[in-house]
Amino acid sequence: MKKTKMKWGSERGFIKLMLAIVGLLVILSIAGVNLSVIQNIALSIWYDLILPVVDWVRSLLP
């Protein structure tokens, strides 16, 4: 049971992180930052942070 609760807790944290990143990108785009810069930042965040986390979560699942 504890493992399930921890999994859900980390999932909620992960969702909050995703929302924070999306919000940041929206704020930057509203502020008029070049879109290609935003795309590069988003891609680097995706490859550096999110994909390793996804792989790690997959390795935990049976």
Burial of 25 (0-12, 13-18, 19+ CB in 10 A): middle
Overall domain count for the chain: 1
Contacts of 28 (CB under 8 A, 6+ apart): 38
Q: Look up residue 48 and give its DSSP letter.
A: I
**In the predicted structure, residue 1 carries a pLDDT above the cut 50:** no
The span from the CA of 39 to the CA of 61, in Å, is 31
Domain hosting 45: range is 2-60
For residue range 5-62, list pLDDT tens digits in order.
Answer: 555 566 777 788 888 888 887 877 776 666 677 778 888 887 888 788 888 888 988 7
